[in-house]
Amino acid sequence: MWGSADQSKAGIKLHLGAFDCAVDGWVNTDVTPHIFISRIPGAPSLLYALGKIDAGKYRMHREGRFRALKYVDLTRPLPFADGSVQAVFSSHVFEHLFRDEIQSLVCEIRRVLEPSGVCRVVVPDLDKLVATYNRESPEAFLSAVFEADTRAAVKNGHHWGYTGASLKRLFEACGFTTADVLAFRVGRCPDIAVLDNRPDESLFFEAVK
């Protein structure tokens, strides 16, 4: 378990669902199978030669992006000690989990955060998506909501949606003291200028333990 007694006094910074956006100084986590592929010598080259991974993923392997990740399954208890984390960041991850999984995850985030620790969550802005709905041509709206308009995309589809009000209720129910919608790259989260992206479609939210 990370965050044991020898953990630095400041606590770690935890990046959930980092994929190809690992940030220096953070524990960058994901569940992509590319984590395991990256640890087998020659596996990325072989899979690329066999047509099992595309040129983009192969380039990421050659750049070492997946070797920077640790495997953490967000549907299970977080493998960190109580109060061992100073900050948590997650961008466009919550919507890929089911509602009951997210409820458990938020309470786990509060458990591992140190007192006054911050959690910053970025999700598709459901209010913005709803504003694009056109009853005569709903296809674009549905594609954006579910992000799975082909069978190949189902594994990366959306399972839930969020507004500022629904996130606030969720975090407050798990015991966070403050929970608010903020602007792009505005907030208490460390390295926010590096972490925040996708400003046009996203809702930016922070909660403090």
What is the 3 state secondary structure string of the chain? CECCCCCCCCCEEEEECCCCCCCCCCEEEECCCHHHHCCCCCHHHHHHHCCCCCHHHHHHHHCCCHHHCEECCCCCCCCECCCCEEEEEEECCHHHCCHHHHHHHHHHHHHHEEEEEEEEEEEEEHHHHHHCCCCCCCHHHHHHHHCCCCHHHHHHCCCCCECHHHHHHHHHHCCCCEEEEECCCCCCCCCHHHHCCCCCCEEEEEEEC
Cα angle 179, 15, 146 (rounded to 5 degrees) comes to 75
Q: For the residues 2-26, what does the mean pLDDT come to?
A: 79
> The CATH number of the domain where 84 resides is what?
3.40.50.150
Task: Tell me the C-alpha to C-alpha distance, in Å, between residue 88 and each of 92, 120, 151, 181.
Answer: 14, 6, 32, 16
Residues 102 and 55 in one domain: no
The residue range of the domain holding 63 is: 33-68
Q: For the residues 135-142, what does the mean pLDDT come to?
A: 91
pLDDT score of 7 more than 80: no
Q: Is residue 44 part of a domain?
A: yes
Q: How far apart (Å, rounded) are the C-alpha atoms in residues 70 and 38?
A: 11
Domain boundary among 68, 88, 115: 68
pLDDT score of 2 more than 90: no
Q: For the residues 143-171, what does the mean pLDDT come to?
A: 84
Residues 99 and 59 in one domain: no
pLDDT score of 55 more than 80: yes
Task: Report the domain count for the chain.
Answer: 2
Residues 177 and 133 in one domain: yes
pLDDT score of 154 more than 70: no
Confidence of residue 104 (pLDDT cuts 50, 70, 90): very high
Residues 159 and 61 in one domain: no
Res 167: pLDDT: 97
Res 8: pLDDT: 46
Q: Is residue 95 part of a domain?
A: yes
Domain boundary among 68, 85, 114: 68
Q: For the residues 1-23, what does the mean pLDDT come to?
A: 77
Residues 47 and 113 in one domain: no
Q: Is residue 6 part of a domain?
A: no
Q: Is residue 108 part of a domain?
A: yes
Q: Is residue 203 part of a domain?
A: yes
Res 9: pLDDT: 60
Residues 178 and 92 in one domain: yes
Residues 48 and 116 in one domain: no
Share of the chain above pLDDT 90, in %: 84
Residues 63 and 163 in one domain: no
Q: How far apart (Å, rounded) are the C-alpha atoms in residues 189 and 173?
A: 21
pLDDT score of 6 more than 50: no
Res 157: pLDDT: 86
Q: Are the C-beta atoms of residues 100 and 120 closer than 8 Å to each other?
A: no
Residues 18 and 92 in one domain: yes
Q: In the numeric block, which tokens belong to residue 119? A: 């959690």
Q: For the residues 27-32, what does the mean pLDDT come to?
A: 96
Residues 142 and 191 in one domain: yes
